[in-house]
Amino acid sequence: MYLTDFLSEHCADNNITSIINNLSNAAIKISNEIKNVDNKNNAQFNVGNTNIDGDLQKPLDIFADEALITCLRDCPVSGYASEEQDGFIDFNNNHEFIVLADPLDGSSNIDVNVTIGTIFSIIPRNNLPLTEAFLQKGIQQKSSGFFVYGPQTTLFLTIGSGTYLFALNENDQKFLLINKISIPEKTSEFAINAAYKRFWDKSTLKYIENCQQGENGIRGKNFGMRWVGSLVADASRILIRGGIFLYPADTRERYREGRLRLTYEANPIAFLVEQANGMATNGSAEILNLNVKKIHQRTALIFGSQEEVIEFRNSLEKS
């Protein structure tokens, strides 16, 4: 079944169907641009600009953001916010939905041919002015997803009744339904950037130490570790085979609230994970219920196999 047919059959709101179909067309353009080796966007250099967070913007970051803006202008969308935009774009219409996105997550991996992706979140305005609509909790999302530009171009999507995996058929450039996703409840694989151990709080230290003790330790089993350094790549693996992803708040000045952004990274991922029977927290509270104070707000993000996220949260209490 193609994505367009899946949406016709399962999505009750034609506006959301239109937005997702248009986002998928933009993602195909981004995917093809990434693979197109002889273009300026693939240049090894940065454009010299930085986004509001001070991250260097690469040509493909700009290309992806512009591709999303162009596609959304033709959609029933009244506003757009992204990692590459200081504020939000008001499309000056009365459409019900707004879209938030990380146009190209993991762009530090562009130059080394490692998987990157586009994350999106679709939220109704709920009769709010745009200035407030963008600050709604993740629980208000009606749909979220992310495209993965890796060995295959794939899409993880939820419209509120489960999480589904699609893959791009490169021949006809259409997304094909692969299967419904359910994250294995148990896992023996954690994902964390171990280089920052000296910045972790006691509970993260305790949890990781327990995992590293293996079968002779308190957990009674051996663990493996994966860290791609690209949220969409780690999330794709965890959604498919289980695992736990941890980017906790740490003692570095810039990341005291965590590194990942709540509105266009953690919330869309958390919606997909919960719809796939997993859990997503900031270590103590559910991501989808966190108050949003600003569009580029950061948060700690721990998500994945239910048993393991609970184990981590309990380590907070034990430490």
Chain residues that interact with ligand P6P, rule: CB under 6 A:
105-106, 108, 193, 229-231, 259
In DSSP terms, which residues pair with 82 in a beta bridge?
101
Of 301, 190, 313, the C-alpha closest to 242 is: 190
The residue written with tokens 């493996």 in the block is 224
In whole angstroms, what is the distance from residue 305 CA to residue 319 CA? Answer: 21
Give the residue with the Cβ less far from ligand P6P, 169 or 193: 193
What is the closest distance, in whole angstroms, from the C-beta atom of residue 16 to ligand P6P in the complex? Answer: 26
Please, which residue, 13 or 105, has the CB nearer to ligand P6P?
A: 105
Burial of 188 (0-12, 13-18, 19+ CB in 10 A): middle
The two beta strands, 153-158 and 143-149, are antiparallel
Q: Which is nearer to ligand P6P, 142 or 259 (CB)?
A: 259
Q: Which helix (H) or strand (E) holds 157?
A: strand 153-158
Sheet strand arrangement including 88-90: 88-90, 77-82, 97-105, 116-124, 143-149, 153-158, 163-169, 174-181
Closest separation in Å from C-beta 187 to ligand P6P? 18
Give the nearest distance from C-beta 148 to ligand P6P in angstroms.
Answer: 12
Give the CB-nearest residue to ligand P6P: 231
Buried b (16+ CB within 10 A) or exposed e, 163-186: bbbbebeeeeebbbbeeebebbee
Summarize the chain as % helix, strand, coil (round to 5). Answer: 40, 25, 35
Q: How far is the CB of 179 from ligand P6P (least distance, A)?
A: 24
Enter the tokens of residue 253: 């000045």
Residue closer to ligand P6P by CB (options 214, 224) is: 224
Our CB check for ligand P6P shows the closer of 231 and 244 to be: 231
**Identity of the residue, 76 or 248, whose beta carbon is nearer to ligand P6P in the bound complex:** 248
Report, in Å, the least distance between residue 269 CB and ligand P6P: 10
Q: Quote the least distance from Cβ 50 to ligand P6P, whole Å.
A: 13
